[in-house]
Amino acid sequence: MKQVTHSRKFFMPSSLQNHHSMQLPAKADALIKWRSMDDVKNTLSSDKFKADSPYLILGEGSNVVFLNDFPGTVILNQLKGCEVIEKTNDHVILDVAAGQSWHELVMRCNEWTYSGIENLALIPGTVGAAPVQNIGAYGTEFSNVCESVSVISCQTGEVSVLSNAECEFGYRSSCFKQDKWKDYVIVSVRLRLRCQNHQWNLSYEPLKKALLAYRSDQLTGDLISQAVIAIRQSRLPDPKALPNAGSFFKNPVISDERLAELLKEDSSLPHYPQPNGEKLSAAYLIQACGLKGQSDNGVGTFSKHALVVVHHGDADGQVFWHFIQKIRQSVQKRFGMSLELEVRCYDQGNLVSPSCATDWYFA
Ligand code: FAD
Ligand code: NAP
């Protein structure tokens, strides 16, 4: 009896529509949930899993778009738990299971007065996905607090621990986006947070402005998170009300020379210095192309934020992709710049290259 249930889990095609926040119609051959490390081990040792390919680990699907059916197994990571590993007057190290909600963790840390992730409030998704794109907002990145990341190999079942340096964090990137680590699943992360001598980061103008009424000794993690939440709610659509996957493209980084040329045409172009050049706002570029709030056949950009692609309902992957290409082509034509995908798009089980270098889909 038990075996029959198990094999049904692997064979039943399941809708993915409610498992990615863009909510395009798509199915997986099978959908399974990992709620404990026993579930993980059972899956990895199952002959059916070993024989099947491909497979994909998913948190809340807030940075993933399924453009069509996924021919394989989708695993929902629902591993829970949070443990204090070390605590001094100065700092705390937390070990957090990968399936915990990131935002809930931020709010808990505020309650416990552990600081370091308060600027990252209201980012949807799981703790286990945070290292993958090194989530960031308002001048803080996951890498700023990451002590280590534990992964399990889906080939051997072996668990390894990667230090912060080994994760090779960069701007919205990490080693977990590299091919070498594609068969590893993050099972937990360790965070190093401050218990005192808090170092609030108000480098982003809207956040600084929202907290102007407070002296620095009056600030708390909770106050900062509440300000971040208010700003985000005023600008970003709630994916449950209007399907979206946050910022669809990365902010491009260009050379100083190229920036100088662009500033001659538009002196108000926002730009921010980076170690490898100047970062532009992709939202500004898309807006300048007249695409803010535009939509075609149920896919568009959000009326208050041009970088957020929204699905008004009833679109499919092909219509969706058409709109993505329209944005990319408009920015290319106007600014001579190729926008890279930040969101991870899957076409028949394959990750679409962020540079969209192929003629995929309309070839
Ligand atoms: P998923 O979308 O399920 O997965 C993302 C990728 O990580 C997939 O490739 C998946 O295979 C892989 N993955 C997931 N879990 C694991 C695991 N345990 N082990 C290995 N690989 C794994 N991002 C930011 O950086 N900053 C923001 O401010 C921000 N704001 C957002 C606002 C909105 C409204 C939305 C919808 C999204 C936003 N995002 C932001 C993007 C997204 O929330 C983050 O990337 C988040 O970390 C994704 O978490 P998830 O659990 O939904 O991951
Ligand atoms: P914004 O304030 O309109 O600014 C536009 C862009 O300019 C941002 O993307 C940001 O880059 C950059 N920027 C602004 N001030 C900066 C500064 N002081 N130093 C360096 N760069 C600066 O941004 P927004 O779109 O409302 O987003 C606010 C924050 O939330 C940003 O950090 C953004 O990344 C994050 N966010 C991310 C997502 C996502 O899905 N990834 C979705 C919504 C919001 P950075 O993006 O590099 O910070």
Which tens digits make up the pLDDT trace of 172-226?
A: 999 999 999 999 999 999 999 999 999 999 999 999 999 999 999 999 999 999 9
pLDDT category at 14 given cuts 50, 70, 90 is very high
Q: Ligand 1 pocket by C-beta < 6 Å: which residues? A: 21, 56-64, 77, 98, 123-126, 128-130, 132-133, 135-137, 176, 185-186, 236, 239, 244-246, 344
Q: Kindly give the distance from the C-alpha atom of residue 174 to the centroid of ligand 1, in angstroms, as a whole number.
A: 13
Instruction: Tell me the pLDDT band of 12, cut-offs 50, 70 and 90.
Output: low
- DSSP for 101-166, please give it: BHHHHHHHHHHTT-BS-GGGTT--SBGGGTTTTT-EETTEEGGGTEEEEEEEETTT--EEEEETGG
Report the alpha-carbon distance of residue 37 to residue 143 in Å, rounded: 25
pLDDT tens digits, one per residue of 338-350: 999 999 999 999 9
Annotated active-site residue 342? The verdict is: yes
**Token pair for residue 157?**
């079942």
- pLDDT of 11 > 90? The answer is no
Nearest protein Cα to ligand 1, atom 22? 129
> Which band of pLDDT confidence, cut at 50, 70 and 90, is reported for residue 50?
confident
Atom in ligand 1 nearest the alpha carbon of residue 344: 9
Closest residue CA from atom 18 of ligand 2: 204
Strand partners, 163: 148
List all residues whose CB is within 6 A of at least one atom of ligand 2.
Answer: 136-138, 203-204, 206, 235-236, 246-247, 251, 272, 279, 281, 283, 342
Which amino acid residue places its CA nearest to atom 5 of ligand 2?
281
Q: Taking the CA atoms of 1, 75, 317 and 51 in sequence, report the sign of the dihedral they define.
A: negative
Closest ligand to C-alpha of residue 61 is 1
Q: How many CB atoms lie within 10 A of CB 8?
A: 10
The pLDDT value given to residue 362: 42
Distance from C-alpha of 120 to C-alpha of 227, rounded to nearest angstrom: 11
If pLDDT is split at 50, 70 and 90, which confidence band does 13 have? Answer: confident
For the segment 132-145, the average pLDDT, to the nearest whole number, is: 98
Half-sphere exposure of 315 (CA within 13 A, CB side): 28
Average pLDDT, the chain: 93
The yes-or-no verdict on residue 82 having pLDDT over 80 is yes
Asked if residue 4 has pLDDT above 70, the reply is: no
Question: Does 334 participate in catalysis according to the annotation?
Answer: no
Tell me the C-alpha distance between 313 and 85, whole Å. 45
Place 335 in a pLDDT band, splitting at 50, 70 and 90: very high
Q: Is the pLDDT of residue 58 over 60?
A: yes
In angstroms, the CA 147 to CA 150 distance is 10
C-alpha 100/C-alpha 275 separation (Å) is 33
Q: What is the mean pLDDT of residues 1-19?
A: 60
Is residue 75's pLDDT more than 80?
yes
Which of 272, 308, 339 to mutate for ligand 2's pocket (most ligand atoms within 8 Å of CB)? 272
The amino acid sitting at 291 is L
Could you tell which of 204, 250, 271 is best to mutate to test the pocket of ligand 2, judged by most ligand atoms within 8 Å of the CB? 204
CA dist 335 and 337 (Å) reads 5
Q: Which of 278, 330, 342, 344 is catalytic?
A: 342
Nearest to 74, CA basis, from 24, 125, 27: 27
Instruction: Categorise residue 61: left if φ over 0, alpha if ψ from -120 to 50, beta otherwise.
Output: left
Residue 304 main-chain phi, psi, to 5 deg = -105, -5
Which of 143, 247, 328, 344 is flagged as catalytic? 247
278 part of the active site: no
Q: Which has the minimum average pLDDT: 2-11, 66-75, 277-286?
A: 2-11
- The secondary element (H helix, E strand) that includes residue 243 is none
Q: What is the pLDDT of residues 251-303, one digit of tens each?
A: 999 999 999 999 999 999 999 999 889 999 999 999 999 999 999 999 999 99
Whether 9 has a pLDDT exceeding 70, the answer reads no
Q: What is the pLDDT averaged over residues 68-82?
A: 96
